Amino acid sequence: MIPQKMHAMFAKPNHDEASRQEFVNDFRVHLASKVFPGTFPTYFGRVLPAFVKANGREPKDRHEIRKVMTKDSFYQLWSAMQRNSQEMIWDSVIDSVERQLPDLMDRAKHTKGKGSLTLNPDVVVPKYHTAADIHLQPGAYHTDSGPDDLAAGAIYDRGTYIYSMGGLGEENDGLGRILHKFFRKQYPDMKVARVLDMGCTAGGSVTYWSTQEPGTEFHAIDVGAPCLRYGHARAKAVGGNVHFSQQNAEKTNFADGSFDLVTSHILLHETSRPAIYNIMKECYRLLKPGGVMMHLDLPQAHGQTPLEGFLWEWEIYNNNEHFYGQLRELDMVDVVTKAGFKPENFKVHQVSSTWDDGQTPYSTENFTFPVYVAVK
């Protein structure tokens, strides 16, 4: 595994913790490169022929494929191992965060830097976060053991690095780099006085943005207090300048027309269908006339073959990404139109998952993230 870049808030693993984390990474690389590809010959070689023989036709959608593939022994074993590897990521990271937590909380207080942190204990963590711990991180983003707890953020920052097998870059902020690069490609001369990032978790993306646009005031919100505490401390440690506050993106306390740009990085698929409608309405309210919103997220179901759709949805059924299923089916034109945007001012871009020329992409060579862009 390519080493993750150290900073004052990084929960540095000791010898055995590092070894355990390296193992999980190498195991997942093996699963992705040697085992997962076996799902294709499994499907085309035996599952599909058996389906055709029994039904006289091919499966009509991804749901029919799931019914038969989840009974196949190869798929079951890959799936069980993949699930276990996800659990092992968190377990290996929690070891080092748990051991150092009092020290990390101290470091957060003493790390000097820019930006601010405003917590609001009255914020209710929505059901789509409390129903199940998203992508199996025990305690999820919001479990808060006390006034200085930042464990969830520290765990997320290291866990997602291992999850992506280092694919988010040595500073684990690749999503921010991808969206910022796209933003400046689309709007090279746009002046942005104030930016809001919604659902910022550990703040890696927005912190990167703040280092690239030094004249801009950056705000970032999330419902999870421990993530915000960590995010603020991390931002200070790496030279960012972000004002973090605990707020739900569905309804914030910012005034109408507060921002030139509103962003999110893989937020929407972890909220519900009604929440996405609310978030888009809130974006419309928060933007100045001529302001832009950009939401980078995971692919929707349309445009995918039934097999691709089925494989993408492994995360929904096996990795506690239940709400991703709602985003996959949503009519985004309807969503943004109901929010107030004109349909002609809305576009879905497919954005490359690389940020440097010649860089190894996040996943496969052609992998792109959809980015939902609308101008007020």
Chain residues that interact with another protein, rule: CB under 8 A? 15-16, 19-20, 22-24, 27, 76-77, 79-81, 83-85, 87-88, 90-92, 94, 97-103, 130-133, 136-140, 143, 145, 151, 155, 317-318, 320, 322
- Tell me the C-alpha distance between 74 and 71, whole Å: 9
- Tell me the C-alpha distance between 223 and 215, whole Å: 27
- Nearest CB to another protein, comparing residues 19 and 253: 19
CA 1 to chain centre: 20
Least distance CB 85 / another protein (angstroms)? 7
- Nearest CB to another protein, comparing residues 82 and 354: 82
Least distance CB 68 / another protein (angstroms)? 15
- Nearest CB to another protein, comparing residues 90 and 277: 90
Least distance CB 363 / another protein (angstroms)? 23
Least distance CB 317 / another protein (angstroms)? 6
Least distance CB 318 / another protein (angstroms)? 5
User: Bridge partners of 61?
Assistant: none
Least distance CB 298 / another protein (angstroms)? 19
C-alpha angle 49-53-54 in degrees, rounded to nearest 5: 120
- Nearest CB to another protein, comparing residues 22 and 308: 22
CB atoms inside a 10 Å sphere around CB 343: 11
Burial of 74 (0-12, 13-18, 19+ CB in 10 A): middle
- Tell me the C-alpha distance between 3 and 312, whole Å: 28
DSSP string, 257-300: T-EEEEEEES-GGGS-HHHHHHHHHHHHHHEEEEEEEEEE-PPP
- Tell me the C-alpha distance between 253 and 123, whole Å: 11
Least distance CB 211 / another protein (angstroms)? 29
Least distance CB 324 / another protein (angstroms)? 14
Least distance CB 344 / another protein (angstroms)? 41
- Hey, which bits of the chain come out as E strands? 116-118, 194-198, 217-222, 242-246, 259-265, 287-296, 346-352, 368-375
- Nearest CB to another protein, comparing residues 151 and 276: 151
- Nearest CB to another protein, comparing residues 89 and 279: 89
- Tell me the C-alpha distance between 244 and 197, whole Å: 9
- Nearest CB to another protein, comparing residues 21 and 247: 21
Question: What are φ and ψ of residue 171, in 5° steps?
Answer: -100, 5
- Nearest CB to another protein, comparing residues 83 and 273: 83
DSSP string, 10-41: -----HHHHHHHHHHHHHHHHIIIIIGGGHHH
- Nearest CB to another protein, comparing residues 124 and 255: 124
